[in-house]
Structure 1
């Protein structure tokens, strides 16, 4: 498809040689011809810009006028060629500057990407370290919570043993089954919260541990327990 620029140059050349820049002549002079519609459109633009009218074109001019016309046409063609060359140089310089700016932008972006990748690697390493620290803290916290739970349980059962010690009459003895109904309701609930519901068997186990350590109780015949005397 012919461009406006190529049609303008071809018409100027024909006019400079004293030939009529008609549609047929222009199409014939173009390197690749072109559709009549496109060539005609650009040729109309050329005629308007050059102020050329085929109707007023003289067919028989004196030699000096014809030579002057050819010189004028040649000057127009040279000026058009010069303008086209200047335009081409400007466009090439602009394209070169644009490519230079794009290269600088690309280099800048690559630098940013490398920086972000390095920062991401650092953050990833910190994240791994933080996860490891978190796991260690969770383990330590679990140990502390277990120790605290054991201390609470020991304190609770010491209070239960003290309560049972007060239930057993001085100088008498009772079995765990006889002691259980005398224990306070909230003590029973507390034992359930510590995952050891009060039963005669649980009471016996807890009281035997205290006897082993010489605290609160003394074993009596027939599975009975009496207060330990100081």
Structure 2
């Protein structure tokens, strides 16, 4: 249907092969022992990690209660997997979560007209629920001082808020995987230049860019995944 309106209907189950190959190199080079999967949804990313041979600990966060419950059941036999039924933000709170037709599009932010144009059958609002949110670095036992973390963020425009709540974990975070917006799909979404500047200030540099979706008419990227790795001495606080 999107094609009828001149838009590129790239599936959210996109081909991850190139990104996955790069991810394996990052996990190896930085000796990652713990992955924090924020915006875990049905566990797609965690499943890919296990299929690729990652045997370390996975801490997965999913704010949609029913999805978090299904996630916990799906990985019940995995002793190194923990499902957390909450969202993450810059402070502990209770927030309204917009549940959309495509659960992987659900967000604490409201969609804009671009999301409706590009993904009309995925971004329809089903309901609004209230869910608890936590600071990541305030969760007891999430990581020890000797852990080496990869932080994966897929929160539909809310990544910088999550990262702001991870300040105390910066020394342990060796790599970050984020989804950046070139054409924002949610109100208040930071642009990709702003996002990359925040991570650079915190000591991370890009090691790979992987397009997620494009505008079929112009071929402009709508969103892309970006892998960032520790490249500079990390600051102990994020920019205001």
TM-score with structure 2 setting the length:
0.17
Asked which structure has the greater CA Rg, the reply is 1
* More strand, by proportion: 2
TM-score with structure 1 setting the length:
0.17
* More helix, by proportion: 1
